[in-house]
Amino acid sequence: MSTETVLKLANVKAGYGDTQVLNDISFSVAKGERLAIIGRNGVGKSTLLNTLMGLTDMHSGSIALHGQAVEALPAHKRAARGLGLVPQTRDIFTSLTVEENLLAGTKKKSSIEEAYTLFPRLKERRGNSGDQLSGGEQQMLSIARTLMGNPDVVMLDEPFEGLAPVICEMLMEVFEKLADGDHTIVLVEQHTELALEFSDRMLILDNGEIVFHGQTSEVRDNPEILERYIGLGMA
């Protein structure tokens, strides 16, 4: 992991319309780092990722990607600069086939083969439409679709939600590969064990604010941190 800062947020306040969800969020992520964001339901984890992507209303603060301010840019320009979001709702295009989902709007058809290498199952299902896929396949497609944009920072919003353990394991392997390949990963996750297993650093959100920010090893060594902030004990 390098020390180069890829993503930096300073005093970000954001929400939907006039409703503020995030309050004074500041943190930075280094290149190749694996950051996990955890917290109870409804504390603003997804809103944080959506704000980074430019899909919410930002009230104040700044977001810098590779040292350049992006808070005023629309989502598609942030994507072009290297931000990629895999949304919680997956949001694949159900009327399109797997291959069409991957091709939509892309200029580099060669990236499809890379996506198929990462997810061989998608190649087998390339002619099937989005609504004919299982939950796991939909998640693979959503991740592959995001990777088609060649992002430096991959933001994953609860990617394991509702998936069988075998699929979670397989996705975890993919995320490991991405991180090893110099992608910066920001993972929002409800499964604390998975977040602890995967990340280098953790943020705990509560009520739209960062209540804990530290190394994952610190949380592993002091499970009471989880108990204190999200009411979870660790086995």
Partner 1 sequence: MSVDVTKSKTRNRFKPKISRRVLLDLVLVTAGIAAFFVFPNSLGFMTRILIMIIMVLSLDLVLGYAGVASLGHAALFGTGAYAAGMFAVYASANPLLGLVVGAVAGAVIAFVSGLILMRASGLTLLMLSIAVAQILFEVVNSERDLTGGSDGLLGIDMDPILGIYAFDFFGRTGYWYALIVLVLVFILLRIVVASPFGLVARGIHESHERMRAIGTSVYWRLVGIYTLAGGIAGIGGALSAQVTELVSLESLGFNLSAEAMIMLILGGTGRLYGAIFGTVIFMTVHHTAASIDPFNWLFVIGGMVLFVVYFVPEGFMGLPARLGKHLGLRK
Two structure tokens written together for 116: 């198929």
CB atoms under 10 Å from CB of 140, counted, come to 28
Task: With beta carbons less than 8 A apart as the criterion, state whether 156 and 86 touch.
Answer: yes
162 is an interface residue for partner 1 by CB under 8 A: no
Question: Of 74, 193, 218, 222, which one interacts with partner 1 (CB under 8 A)?
Answer: 74
Two structure tokens written together for 128: 């099937």
- What angle (nearest 5°) sits at the alpha carbon of residue 211, between those of residues 206 and 213? 125
120 is an interface residue for partner 1 by CB under 8 A: yes
Residues numbered 171 to 190 that lie near partner 1 (CB under 8 A) are: 173-174
Interface with partner 1 (CB under 8 A), residue total: 47
Question: Of 129, 172, 190, 191, which one interacts with partner 1 (CB under 8 A)?
Answer: 129
In this complex, which beta carbon is closest to partner 1, that of residue 109 or of residue 228? 109
In angstroms, give the least distance from the CB of 45 to partner 1: 16
Whole-angstrom distance, CA of residue 185 vs CA of residue 32: 7
In this complex, which beta carbon is closest to partner 1, that of residue 53 or of residue 202? 53
In this complex, which beta carbon is closest to partner 1, that of residue 10 or of residue 75? 75
Crossing angle (nearest 10°) for helices 165-180 and 135-147:
10
In angstroms, give the least distance from the CB of 57 to partner 1: 13
Whole-angstrom distance, CA of residue 71 vs CA of residue 198: 28
In this complex, which beta carbon is closest to partner 1, that of residue 34 or of residue 78? 78
Residue 100: partners with Cβ closer than 8 Å, 6 or more residues away: 93
Question: Of 47, 51, 88, 146, which one interacts with partner 1 (CB under 8 A)?
Answer: 146
Question: Which one of 11-19, 24-32, 53-61, 204-212 is the stretch in contact with partner 1 (CB under 8 A)?
Answer: 53-61
In whole angstroms, how far apart are CA 6 and each of 44, 78, 82, 151? 22, 13, 10, 12
Q: Phi/psi at 116 (nearest 5 deg)?
A: -70, -30
In this complex, which beta carbon is closest to partner 1, that of residue 73 or of residue 232? 73
In this complex, which beta carbon is closest to partner 1, that of residue 64 or of residue 174? 174
Whole-angstrom distance, CA of residue 104 vs CA of residue 36: 30
228 is an interface residue for partner 1 by CB under 8 A: no
Say if strands 83-86 and 68-69 run parallel, antiparallel, or are unpaired: unpaired
- By the criterion CB under 8 A, which residues form the site for partner 1? 53-55, 74-77, 79-80, 84-85, 87, 91, 93-97, 100, 103-107, 118-121, 125-129, 132-134, 136-137, 145-146, 148-149, 166-167, 170, 173-174
